[in-house]
């Protein structure tokens, strides 16, 4: 396992959990997930280019990401969304934080089953995809309750 990637991953996890459990304005912008996914894709691709990776390894990492997507949907349902004084707010609970830890744990467990380092090197890709997915579900919930206007061609984040 790449210690540097693990440390970066833990720092990103601490940042994400801190943001998730703090009352925050809900924004339709989804840049963080997209940026992390792009950086993670580059790191993962670089790892795959320089390391012998079997199809089974790629399938296990993909399965971990699919599990992460499922957890993102569940996590999004633990985020409270409400309107107050003209603003729309969001705040996760301790369940949200625990689900983040479970998700990262299952992804890092993959590292023990695949080419050494692949799980750690794909961590930012994992973060980006699941952050983006969770944000989309939270936004959809806010839209369903009339808290956020529907998406139109000119309002994409």
Please report the beta strands in 10-156, taking only residues with DSSP state E, as ranges in sequence order. 24-25, 80-84, 87-91
Look at the chain and report how many structural domains it folds into: 1
Residue 42 lies in a domain: no
pLDDT digits (tens, 9 = 90+) for 19-57: 999 999 998 777 889 999 999 999 999 999 999 999 999
* pLDDT for 111 beyond 90: no
Per the confidence metrics, is the pTM higher than 0.75? yes
Residue 36 lies in a domain: no
Residue 11 lies in a domain: yes
The C-alpha atoms of residue 128 and residue 37 are separated, in whole angstroms, by: 4
The C-alpha atoms of residue 117 and residue 106 are separated, in whole angstroms, by: 15
pLDDT digits (tens, 9 = 90+) for 130-139: 999 999 999 9
* pLDDT for 112 beyond 90: no
Residue 41 lies in a domain: no
Q: Which structural domain range is residue 125 located in?
A: 3-26+54-144
Residue 132 lies in a domain: yes
pLDDT digits (tens, 9 = 90+) for 113-128: 998 889 888 988 999 9
Question: What confidence category does residue 2 fall into, taking pLDDT thresholds of 50, 70 and 90?
Answer: low
Q: What is the pLDDT of residue 66?
A: 97
Cβ pair 115, 54 in contact under 8 A:
yes
């Amino acid at each position: 396992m790449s210690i540097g990637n693990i440390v970066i991953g833990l720092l990103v996890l601490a940042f994400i959990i801190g943001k998730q459990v703090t009352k925050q304005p809900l924004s339709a912008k989804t840049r963080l997930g997209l940026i992390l996914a792009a950086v993670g894709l580059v790191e993962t691709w670089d790892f795959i280019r320089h390391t012998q990776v079997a199809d089974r390894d790629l399938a296990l990492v993909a399965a971990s990401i699919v599990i992460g997507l499922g957890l993102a949907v569940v996590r999004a349902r633990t985020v409270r969304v409400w309107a107050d004084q003209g603003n729309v707010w969001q705040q996760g609970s301790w369940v949200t934080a625990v689900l983040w830890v479970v998700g990262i744990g299952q992804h890092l467990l993959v590292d023990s089953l695949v080419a050494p380092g692949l799980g750690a090197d794909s961590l930012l890709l994992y973060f980006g995809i699941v952050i983006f997915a969770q944000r989309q579900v939270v936004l959809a919930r806010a839209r369903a309750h009339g808290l956020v206007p529907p998406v139109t061609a000119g309002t994409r984040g």
